[in-house]
Amino acid sequence: MKKYLIIIPLAAVMVSSCSVKSPTEGSIVIDMAKKGAEVPSSMYGVFFEEINHAGDGGLYAELVQNRSFEEKEYPEGYFAEGDKLHAPPLKNHLTMKVSEETYRWNSEDIPGWSLESTGAEKAGMKLTRQNPLDPATPNSLQIIIPKDAGESVLVNGGYWGMGVKSGECYDLRFYLRTDEYKGGLIVRLMSSGGQVIANAAINISKNPGWNEYKVPMIPGQTDAKARLTFGFSGEGTIWIDYVSLFPENTFKNRPNGLRKDVAEFLADLHPAFIRWPGGCIVEGISLINRVEWKKTLGDPMTRSGQYDTWGYRNTYGFGYHEFLQYCEDIGAKGMFVCNVGLGCQYRVGDACKDGDVQFYINDVLDAIEYAVGDQSSQWGATRIAAGHPEPFPLQYIEIGNENWGPLYNQRFETFYKAIKAKYPQLTLISNHSLKSDMSGVTRTDMIDPHWYVDPDFFFDNSHIFDTLPRGKYGIYVGEYACNQKVGGGNMLAALSEAAFITGMERNSDLVKMASYAPLFENRNDRTWPVNLIWIDNLEVVGRSSYYVQKVMAENKPTYNLKTVIIPRAVSTIEPKAGNSFADSTRQFSVGGYDETTGEIIVKVVNAEEKPWQAKISINRGGRISRHGEAVTLRADSLKAENSFEEPLKISPVTTKYDAFSNEFDYEFEPCSLTILRIGIEK
């Protein structure tokens, strides 16, 4: 590290002293003859996890909350008390201690649902496990309606309301069971103001047992907080289960698909890969509530779901198949993260017995087979039967999530060998960070350091990869975000990430992949402090960090060019001991060349609240064209944030620029990331 930091600034000073003239403050020198590493197409990906209602109430298009009446189910061995869920006392395999862990618990009797009667007598409802619709989803709702109840109205309020659009079709699907109910049923969509915006009369079947009903609902009005109601006019007992209201107009019209606007907004990032299912939910608070991908397949009516590490029930609606389908739909590679028989080490941290490890190895091998196997394999045949004959684009397997220590290393080694032997074409990733003890690990293809930090960390560490040893494994920065001291995620956060990204791109021979985390937040459930994309029932908002990710990915060069930045004129530079010049100020740059368009790409971060004047020199590259483009992401202040009211306040603007040359002056705006695309004369 030290060697680099001494040599590069001195070389830069020599260039600077002859090329920087007043009033220019600094300079960027790009050497076209010094071709750097290829910037791989895998570089910019995304990390999905069911956190902050990212899927349920977010990307996944279902509008009914608690559709299977399973939300009061907790993992085996847990117990609920008021609004707390208690995890069982299990030994953490690292600390050997047993901790008392409690988690958020919804204390309502039947979350998402309410029942009102208009008459003198009142109907009642309760959950029951008698005669389940499907064994995987044991609960249903029993409604007992007495005489003189008038109309008894069962209401689902969705995930903080239901976003519906005028004239669009919503498929209502539900199941009823009754033997003696006498009376009518009208299903309605109600606006937030209490008007009926769609309705249908249901002819209740006399067939015994569960009967399925499918009804298209087309609201005559757009509403962000509509509700679904079932109005029973008669008396008797009725059981109801699996109530789903699903837009027909999903992303690419996939059944059981994704909210179109959210899926498109994510696709606009052009992610090279998607990581699924997370995150801590891979491990579970303890092993018992880890994500079980096999339970996420098939008719969503049969999916059990699971109480999620982040304090609510994951319906498993956005399951393994839907994830792989979305990857295929947007041209991304899939990354599946498997459990290695370890519960979350930040939480309960239990470990399965060594004798049970094979179960988890088989589980990940089955997952891979589901994605890429053929008809002759059990899980390949299951995928084909689900309507997808071709393999899915699964490319990466991460072995565990945020696991560490001797037991993890031992398990990683076993998993790595088993997966590699069968699927040598896959890239296998370990959880190790830059400083992990990797004793016992013979080989990993990539390691996965995570950073959730404050802005100074990213500004001060944009060179962290420069001097790391090469040749052993690649780096996948699987989770990173500036999420401390930056409000809900302001421009300072975004620019510090941009500065860090310049370092990742500059070191793309080593850092081959990165994904910001977490990805989504339903605005009503900010469990994690800062997230990339905010979701409301009808709106999607990208934070400034979203636009950093977007413009960085859209302007990925084919390879790097040697780029030296001198943020201040020589006489004013006072680098902090041990830091490079770039570290002591708030300007950062990386340059590269795009072979497909024949342009030089210069990315420049100016994280100060004043303009930065720089002279840009492009050496040894032939004659530079005058004409090109500047993509600018800027804010009025470092504290500025996007919001639902001003979603595009901080968003990129592309302008033509006609004054490029081999040496030109450029004024970088205050609080900005600028990407210059510069052509070369033929």
Nearest distance in Å: CB 396, ligand AHR: 16
Nearest distance in Å: CB 265, ligand AHR: 19
Based on the shown chain and the rule CB under 6 A, indicate whether residue 514 belongs to the binding site for ligand AHR: no
CB atoms within 10 A of CB 441: 18
Radius of gyration, CA atoms only, the chain: 28
Based on the shown chain and the rule CB under 6 A, indicate whether residue 518 belongs to the binding site for ligand AHR: yes
Residue 414 CA to residue 441 CA, distance in Å, equals: 9
Applying the rule CB under 6 A, the residues between 46 and 65 that interact with ligand AHR are: 49, 51
Nearest distance in Å: CB 419, ligand AHR: 21
- Please, which residue, 51 or 551, has the CB nearer to ligand AHR? 51
Q: Which residues contact 143 (CB under 8 A, 6 or more apart)?
A: 115, 123, 124, 125, 152, 154, 232, 237, 238, 239, 240
Longest CA–CA separation in the chain, Å:
95
Based on the shown chain and the rule CB under 6 A, indicate whether residue 314 belongs to the binding site for ligand AHR: no
Nearest Cα neighbor of 490 from 627, 366, 642, 630 is 642
Applying the rule CB under 6 A, the residues between 450 and 479 that interact with ligand AHR are: 479
CB atoms within 10 A of CB 648: 10
Q: Which amino acid is at 482?
A: C
Residue 442 CA to residue 435 CA, distance in Å, equals: 16
Q: How many residues bind ligand AHR (CB under 6 A)?
A: 11
Judged by CB under 6 A, which of 92, 401, 403, 483 binds ligand AHR?
Answer: 401
Based on the shown chain and the rule CB under 6 A, indicate whether residue 398 belongs to the binding site for ligand AHR: no
Nearest distance in Å: CB 161, ligand AHR: 26
Nearest residue (beta carbon) to ligand AHR: 279
Based on the shown chain and the rule CB under 6 A, indicate whether residue 301 belongs to the binding site for ligand AHR: no
φ, ψ of residue 358 to 5 degrees: the values are -60, -30
Based on the shown chain and the rule CB under 6 A, indicate whether residue 151 belongs to the binding site for ligand AHR: no
Residue 333 near residue 396 (C-beta atoms within 8 A): yes
Residue 553 CA to residue 434 CA, distance in Å, equals: 24
Q: How many CA atoms lie within 13 A of 23 on its CB side?
A: 5
Q: Binding segment for ligand AHR among 273-281, 506-514, 584-592, 626-634 (CB under 6 A)?
A: 273-281
Residue 447 near residue 457 (C-beta atoms within 8 A): no
**Bridge partners (DSSP) listed for residue 572:** none
Applying the rule CB under 6 A, the residues between 276 and 295 that interact with ligand AHR are: 278-280
Q: Binding segment for ligand AHR among 219-227, 274-282, 288-296, 545-553 (CB under 6 A)?
A: 274-282
Residue 556 CA to residue 306 CA, distance in Å, equals: 39
Nearest distance in Å: CB 463, ligand AHR: 24
Based on the shown chain and the rule CB under 6 A, indicate whether residue 501 belongs to the binding site for ligand AHR: no
Residue 506 CA to residue 15 CA, distance in Å, equals: 20
- Please, which residue, 158 or 518, has the CB nearer to ligand AHR? 518
Sheet containing 672-680, strands listed edge to edge, beginning at the edge strand earlier in sequence: 653-657, 624-634, 672-680, 599-606, 587-594, 559-566, 26-38, 612-619, 663-668
Based on the shown chain and the rule CB under 6 A, indicate whether residue 497 belongs to the binding site for ligand AHR: no
Nearest distance in Å: CB 49, ligand AHR: 5
- Please, which residue, 477 or 517, has the CB nearer to ligand AHR? 517
Nearest distance in Å: CB 519, ligand AHR: 9
Based on the shown chain and the rule CB under 6 A, indicate whether residue 528 belongs to the binding site for ligand AHR: yes
Based on the shown chain and the rule CB under 6 A, indicate whether residue 402 belongs to the binding site for ligand AHR: yes
Residues that bind ligand AHR (CB under 6 A): 49, 51, 278-280, 401-402, 479, 517-518, 528
